[in-house]
Amino acid sequence: MIELKSYGLQTHQGPHLNLNEDIVDLDLANNLFLLIDGFGGSNIGDRAAMIVRDNIKRAFTKIAIDPEATLPFYFSHKYLIEGNALINAFQSTHQSIIKDNESKSLENRGGASVLAGALSESILSLVSTGNCAAYLFRKGHLTLELIPDSLNNLTRDSYQPHLHSIPLSGIGLFEDLHYNVREIKIAKGDQVIFLTDGVYARLAHDEIKYIIEKNLDNELEILKDLFSLSNDRGNLDNQSGLILTF
Protein backbone atom coordinates (compact mmCIF):
# COMPACT_ATOMS: atom_id res chain seq x y z
CA MET A 1 0.00 0.00 0.00
CA ILE A 2 1.30 3.43 -1.00
CA GLU A 3 0.72 6.39 1.29
CA LEU A 4 0.87 10.08 0.53
CA LYS A 5 4.15 11.34 1.97
CA SER A 6 3.65 15.07 1.45
CA TYR A 7 1.89 17.55 -0.79
CA GLY A 8 1.96 21.16 -1.87
CA LEU A 9 -0.77 23.31 -3.37
CA GLN A 10 -1.07 26.86 -4.55
CA THR A 11 -3.77 28.89 -6.24
CA HIS A 12 -3.69 32.55 -7.24
CA GLN A 13 -5.70 34.95 -9.37
CA GLY A 14 -2.60 35.70 -11.43
CA PRO A 15 -0.93 39.03 -12.22
CA HIS A 16 -3.84 40.55 -14.13
CA LEU A 17 -7.22 39.38 -12.78
CA ASN A 18 -8.86 40.43 -9.51
CA LEU A 19 -10.91 37.23 -9.29
CA ASN A 20 -9.72 33.65 -8.84
CA GLU A 21 -12.08 31.12 -10.42
CA ASP A 22 -9.76 28.20 -9.55
CA ILE A 23 -10.09 25.82 -6.61
CA VAL A 24 -7.63 23.25 -5.26
CA ASP A 25 -9.09 20.84 -2.73
CA LEU A 26 -7.85 17.79 -0.82
CA ASP A 27 -9.93 15.34 1.17
CA LEU A 28 -7.23 13.33 2.92
CA ALA A 29 -9.74 11.18 4.78
CA ASN A 30 -11.08 9.87 1.47
CA ASN A 31 -7.86 10.23 -0.58
CA LEU A 32 -9.61 12.59 -3.00
CA PHE A 33 -7.72 15.35 -4.84
CA LEU A 34 -9.36 18.07 -6.94
CA LEU A 35 -8.17 20.81 -9.29
CA ILE A 36 -10.97 23.00 -10.68
CA ASP A 37 -10.69 25.83 -13.21
CA GLY A 38 -14.03 27.63 -13.37
CA PHE A 39 -15.11 29.71 -16.33
CA GLY A 40 -17.80 32.32 -16.85
CA GLY A 41 -16.43 35.44 -15.17
CA SER A 42 -17.09 37.29 -11.94
CA ASN A 43 -19.68 35.67 -9.66
CA ILE A 44 -20.24 33.03 -12.35
CA GLY A 45 -17.08 30.98 -12.82
CA ASP A 46 -16.09 31.20 -9.16
CA ARG A 47 -19.59 30.17 -8.09
CA ALA A 48 -19.62 27.30 -10.60
CA ALA A 49 -16.25 26.10 -9.30
CA MET A 50 -17.57 25.95 -5.73
CA ILE A 51 -20.70 24.07 -6.80
CA VAL A 52 -18.57 21.62 -8.78
CA ARG A 53 -16.27 21.03 -5.82
CA ASP A 54 -19.11 20.45 -3.36
CA ASN A 55 -21.10 18.20 -5.69
CA ILE A 56 -18.15 16.03 -6.72
CA LYS A 57 -17.03 15.54 -3.13
CA ARG A 58 -20.54 14.68 -1.98
CA ALA A 59 -21.22 12.23 -4.81
CA PHE A 60 -17.78 10.60 -4.69
CA THR A 61 -17.72 9.95 -0.97
CA LYS A 62 -21.25 8.56 -1.02
CA ILE A 63 -20.29 5.96 -3.64
CA ALA A 64 -16.70 5.25 -2.62
CA ILE A 65 -17.43 4.51 1.04
CA ASP A 66 -20.47 2.34 0.30
CA PRO A 67 -19.72 -0.59 -2.05
CA GLU A 68 -23.46 -1.26 -2.31
CA ALA A 69 -24.24 2.26 -3.49
CA THR A 70 -25.94 2.61 -6.86
CA LEU A 71 -23.84 3.92 -9.75
CA PRO A 72 -26.57 5.92 -11.51
CA PHE A 73 -24.74 7.00 -14.67
CA TYR A 74 -21.90 4.62 -15.44
CA PHE A 75 -20.11 1.44 -14.47
CA SER A 76 -17.17 -0.36 -16.06
CA HIS A 77 -15.36 -3.46 -14.84
CA LYS A 78 -12.22 -1.89 -16.32
CA TYR A 79 -11.94 0.63 -13.49
CA LEU A 80 -11.75 0.42 -9.72
CA ILE A 81 -14.73 1.52 -7.67
CA GLU A 82 -12.92 4.85 -7.09
CA GLY A 83 -12.66 5.47 -10.84
CA ASN A 84 -16.30 4.57 -11.35
CA ALA A 85 -17.24 6.79 -8.41
CA LEU A 86 -15.36 9.74 -9.93
CA ILE A 87 -17.02 9.27 -13.31
CA ASN A 88 -20.46 9.16 -11.71
CA ALA A 89 -19.61 12.20 -9.58
CA PHE A 90 -18.59 14.09 -12.73
CA GLN A 91 -21.79 13.08 -14.51
CA SER A 92 -24.12 14.05 -11.66
CA THR A 93 -22.30 17.36 -11.21
CA HIS A 94 -22.49 18.05 -14.94
CA GLN A 95 -26.24 17.46 -14.93
CA SER A 96 -26.60 19.82 -11.96
CA ILE A 97 -24.65 22.62 -13.67
CA ILE A 98 -26.49 22.12 -16.97
CA LYS A 99 -29.82 22.40 -15.17
CA ASP A 100 -28.64 25.51 -13.31
CA ASN A 101 -27.60 27.11 -16.61
CA GLU A 102 -30.84 26.37 -18.47
CA SER A 103 -32.72 29.44 -17.27
CA LYS A 104 -29.76 31.78 -17.75
CA SER A 105 -28.63 33.78 -20.75
CA LEU A 106 -25.44 32.60 -22.45
CA GLU A 107 -23.21 35.24 -20.86
CA ASN A 108 -24.36 34.24 -17.37
CA ARG A 109 -23.68 30.51 -17.69
CA GLY A 110 -20.79 28.94 -15.82
CA GLY A 111 -18.83 25.72 -15.88
CA ALA A 112 -15.42 24.29 -15.12
CA SER A 113 -12.50 22.23 -16.26
CA VAL A 114 -11.86 19.59 -13.62
CA LEU A 115 -9.07 17.16 -12.80
CA ALA A 116 -9.75 14.68 -10.00
CA GLY A 117 -7.66 11.92 -8.45
CA ALA A 118 -8.62 9.17 -6.01
CA LEU A 119 -6.08 6.86 -4.38
CA SER A 120 -6.86 3.24 -3.52
CA GLU A 121 -4.02 1.05 -2.24
CA SER A 122 -1.34 1.76 -4.88
CA ILE A 123 -3.65 2.81 -7.72
CA LEU A 124 -4.38 6.46 -8.45
CA SER A 125 -7.53 6.89 -10.54
CA LEU A 126 -7.57 10.10 -12.56
CA VAL A 127 -10.56 11.62 -14.34
CA SER A 128 -10.52 14.92 -16.19
CA THR A 129 -12.66 17.11 -18.38
CA GLY A 130 -11.43 20.33 -19.93
CA ASN A 131 -7.94 21.74 -20.10
CA CYS A 132 -6.24 20.77 -16.82
CA ALA A 133 -3.11 18.62 -17.07
CA ALA A 134 -1.74 15.75 -14.95
CA TYR A 135 1.95 14.81 -14.96
CA LEU A 136 3.88 11.94 -13.38
CA PHE A 137 7.49 12.50 -12.33
CA ARG A 138 9.25 9.18 -11.70
CA LYS A 139 12.99 8.55 -11.39
CA GLY A 140 13.97 11.55 -13.48
CA HIS A 141 11.32 11.09 -16.15
CA LEU A 142 8.32 13.40 -16.60
CA THR A 143 5.28 12.10 -18.49
CA LEU A 144 1.99 13.78 -19.32
CA GLU A 145 -0.59 11.31 -18.01
CA LEU A 146 -3.79 13.19 -18.84
CA ILE A 147 -3.64 15.38 -21.93
CA PRO A 148 -5.71 18.59 -21.75
CA ASP A 149 -8.77 18.50 -24.00
CA SER A 150 -8.17 21.79 -25.75
CA LEU A 151 -7.62 23.44 -29.13
CA ASN A 152 -3.99 22.36 -28.86
CA ASN A 153 -5.10 18.90 -30.01
CA LEU A 154 -6.18 20.41 -33.34
CA THR A 155 -2.94 22.18 -34.20
CA ARG A 156 0.64 21.18 -34.88
CA ASP A 157 1.83 24.74 -34.35
CA SER A 158 3.98 25.19 -31.23
CA TYR A 159 4.10 28.99 -31.60
CA GLN A 160 2.32 30.75 -28.72
CA PRO A 161 0.78 27.53 -27.31
CA HIS A 162 -1.19 29.49 -24.69
CA LEU A 163 -3.51 30.57 -27.51
CA HIS A 164 -4.46 26.92 -28.05
CA SER A 165 -5.45 26.08 -24.46
CA ILE A 166 -9.17 26.90 -24.83
CA PRO A 167 -11.06 23.88 -23.45
CA LEU A 168 -13.06 21.65 -25.80
CA SER A 169 -14.90 20.00 -22.92
CA GLY A 170 -15.87 20.78 -19.34
CA ILE A 171 -18.58 20.41 -16.76
CA GLY A 172 -21.51 22.55 -17.88
CA LEU A 173 -20.03 23.32 -21.30
CA PHE A 174 -22.00 21.04 -23.65
CA GLU A 175 -25.04 18.82 -23.26
CA ASP A 176 -22.85 15.70 -23.27
CA LEU A 177 -19.93 15.40 -20.87
CA HIS A 178 -16.63 14.36 -22.43
CA TYR A 179 -13.95 13.11 -20.07
CA ASN A 180 -10.67 11.18 -19.91
CA VAL A 181 -9.81 8.40 -17.48
CA ARG A 182 -6.41 7.07 -16.42
CA GLU A 183 -5.32 4.65 -13.71
CA ILE A 184 -1.70 4.81 -12.55
CA LYS A 185 0.10 2.33 -10.34
CA ILE A 186 2.00 4.56 -7.95
CA ALA A 187 5.51 3.69 -6.76
CA LYS A 188 7.41 5.06 -3.79
CA GLY A 189 9.09 8.34 -4.71
CA ASP A 190 6.59 9.26 -7.43
CA GLN A 191 5.29 12.80 -7.76
CA VAL A 192 1.95 13.54 -9.43
CA ILE A 193 1.46 17.11 -10.58
CA PHE A 194 -1.90 18.75 -11.37
CA LEU A 195 -1.71 22.08 -13.27
CA THR A 196 -4.15 24.54 -14.81
CA ASP A 197 -3.42 26.15 -18.17
CA GLY A 198 -2.40 29.35 -16.41
CA VAL A 199 0.71 27.44 -15.37
CA TYR A 200 1.62 24.93 -18.09
CA ALA A 201 0.45 26.68 -21.28
CA ARG A 202 3.52 28.92 -21.64
CA LEU A 203 6.06 26.35 -20.48
CA ALA A 204 7.91 23.65 -22.40
CA HIS A 205 7.82 20.09 -21.11
CA ASP A 206 11.56 20.15 -20.39
CA GLU A 207 11.21 23.40 -18.44
CA ILE A 208 8.61 21.83 -16.14
CA LYS A 209 10.90 18.83 -15.66
CA TYR A 210 13.89 21.05 -14.88
CA ILE A 211 11.98 23.02 -12.23
CA ILE A 212 10.78 19.81 -10.58
CA GLU A 213 14.31 18.39 -10.46
CA LYS A 214 15.73 21.64 -9.11
CA ASN A 215 13.28 21.68 -6.17
CA LEU A 216 12.69 17.95 -5.79
CA ASP A 217 12.00 17.97 -2.04
CA ASN A 218 9.95 21.17 -1.92
CA GLU A 219 6.56 21.09 -3.63
CA LEU A 220 5.78 24.74 -2.87
CA GLU A 221 9.04 25.92 -4.44
CA ILE A 222 8.24 23.90 -7.56
CA LEU A 223 4.86 25.60 -7.86
CA LYS A 224 6.32 29.01 -7.06
CA ASP A 225 8.92 28.68 -9.83
CA LEU A 226 6.39 27.33 -12.34
CA PHE A 227 4.00 30.21 -11.62
CA SER A 228 6.81 32.76 -11.82
CA LEU A 229 8.20 31.53 -15.15
CA SER A 230 4.72 31.43 -16.67
CA ASN A 231 4.08 35.00 -15.51
CA ASP A 232 7.43 36.10 -16.93
CA ARG A 233 6.20 34.79 -20.28
CA GLY A 234 3.08 36.98 -20.11
CA ASN A 235 0.49 34.87 -18.33
CA LEU A 236 -2.71 36.78 -17.51
CA ASP A 237 -4.81 33.84 -16.27
CA ASN A 238 -5.56 32.36 -12.86
CA GLN A 239 -2.94 29.83 -11.77
CA SER A 240 -3.31 26.67 -9.71
CA GLY A 241 -1.26 23.59 -9.01
CA LEU A 242 -1.17 20.55 -6.75
CA ILE A 243 1.78 18.23 -6.20
CA LEU A 244 1.39 14.84 -4.50
CA THR A 245 4.56 13.12 -3.31
CA PHE A 246 4.43 9.42 -2.48
Kindly give the parts of the chain with pLDDT less than 70: 67-68, 153-164
Instruction: Look at residue 240 in the predicted model and tell me its pLDDT.
Output: 98
User: Which of 80-117 are b and which e, b meaning 16 or more Cβ less than 10 Å from the residue's Cβ?
Assistant: bbbbbbbbbbbbbbbbbbbebbeeeeeeebbbbbbbbb
Instruction: Look at residue 85 in the predicted model and tell me its pLDDT.
Output: 94
End-to-end CA separation in angstroms for the chain: 11
pLDDT digits (tens, 9 = 90+) for 72-115: 888 899 999 999 999 999 999 999 999 989 989 988 999 999 99
Query: How many residues are recorded in the chain?
Result: 246
Instruction: Look at residue 73 in the predicted model and tell me its pLDDT.
Output: 86
pLDDT digits (tens, 9 = 90+) for 109-142: 999 999 999 999 999 999 999 999 999 999 999 9
- List the domains of the chain with CATH numbers: 6-245 (3.60.40.10)
Instruction: Look at residue 71 in the predicted model and tell me its pLDDT.
Output: 80
